[in-house]
Structure 1
Amino acid sequence: MHLDSSLIITTREERDYIMHDKILLDTDLDNDYAIIKAKILYHLSKPIDNTLLIGIDPGKRIGISILYMHEEIDSRVVTSIKALIDLITLLTENIDVRKTIVKIGSGDLRLAMKIALEIDYRLNDIDIELVDEHGTTSSITDASSRRRGVRDRLSARAIAYRRGKNFRTYILS
């Protein structure tokens, strides 16, 4: 990814005095870390493919990997579907995207479908895929990475990079 290193961060009051095409307001930095990072990445690069890709490893601890413009901008763990949906809503409402894709591991198909249906109900224009998550945890070989939380986030990243099937095909079968 080619980055143009000139970005000006300023206040709303001073914006009109600055002749530059890449300006970020300081109030844009009052948000979630992933949103801030996405906005900076968007302004510093030439956004050819500003796709938001979210990988989800469902379970008691829900691992999440957030990729924007092919870069992982954040990974985290939440403990409820509500917190997951709130995060996805926040991201989609505040990040400039051409397309949003959510990939959910299907190890626990009932839980994966519950998450997919909730996302589909609450949010529009999101491609939702279910992904075979077989081997996502066993591929983590580093002992420190096998800790809870870290393992969930790394599994979510592996899920994000795998090819999935539209979740609706599971409803019809």
Structure 2
Amino acid sequence: MKLSFDSILPEEILNYSDHLILTTREEAPKTYEKLLLHEDILELHPIVIRGMMMQKLNLDFEEEILILGVDPGQRIGLSIFYYGVEIGSSFHSSIEELVSYIIGVFGGLRAKRKILKIGNGNMKIAQQIATMLNLKFCSSFELEFVDEHKTSLKIKNFNQRGKRDMLSAKYISQREGFRQSILPLSITG
């Protein structure tokens, strides 16, 4: 996750002065005032872990919003913002893979509002993403189709490993579009 950390012994936990400790349940002190995370969170996706750390640390963020920007196309770019901070980006080669990834993020992170912003450059793929997510995700979210005009940089040899697609998704996540609330089919029938 590219985070700096200190490695300490279990008996040093009580005197440790930083804010967050990751330890096993067996080595955790019985009473402890600071924040503890246990090793079972390591089974989650790194993006979800990063978001959970932000929740636990209760940093001075403006609003509890989770925004995912999607650049639909042959390679699908994704950018994830939580509390206004980009916590991850990736690219996906299939709609199914992307939707599964989005469900893991939406389901793993708590937020007052969960917003999916999809660029309108390829509406066929954009609609497929929205439809599949509505069928597979059992909770409500907000959906926006946004104008993705001028989000793709035209730089020669820039799209190694989907970098251009992820950057386009980042720009898309910051744009406004027509917003609609999507209720899960389990509620709407």
In 2, Cα distance between the equivalents of 1:44 and 1:142?
Answer: 39
Bigger Cα Rg: 2
Q: Which runs of 5+ in 1 are unaligned?
A: 169-173
- Paired residues of 2:71 and 2:168 also in contact (CA < 8 A): yes
Using structure 1 for the length normalisation, give the TM-score. 0.83
- Paired residues of 1:38 and 1:73 also in contact (CA < 8 A): yes
Task: Work out whether 1:72 is the aligned partner of 2:90.
Answer: no
Task: Work out whether 1:127 is the aligned partner of 2:146.
Answer: no
Task: Show CA shifts across 1:6-65 (max 9, x none).
Answer: 012121234451412421112212321211211122222336522211000001100000
2:169 to 156, 162, 165: 156
Q: What residue is the counterpart of 1:114 in the other structure?
A: 128
Q: Which runs of 5+ in 2 are unaligned?
A: 1-17, 182-189
SS of residue matched to 1:60: coil
Using structure 2 for the length normalisation, give the TM-score. 0.77
- Paired residues of 1:130 and 1:167 also in contact (CA < 8 A): no
SS of residue matched to 1:136: coil
In 2, Cα distance between the equivalents of 1:7 and 1:73?
Answer: 18
What letter is aligned with 2:148? E
What letter is aligned with 2:72? P
1:38 to 51, 60, 83: 51
- Paired residues of 1:106 and 1:131 also in contact (CA < 8 A): yes
In 2, Cα distance between the equivalents of 1:115 and 1:13?
Answer: 43
How many residues end up aligned between the 2 structures?
A: 162
- Paired residues of 2:62 and 2:84 also in contact (CA < 8 A): no
- More deviation, 7-16/92-101: 7-16
- Aligned Cα root-mean-square deviation (Å): 2.1
Task: Show CA shifts across 1:75-130 (max 9, x none).
Answer: 01111111011001111221222221000001111221111122122222110110
SS of residue matched to 1:13: coil
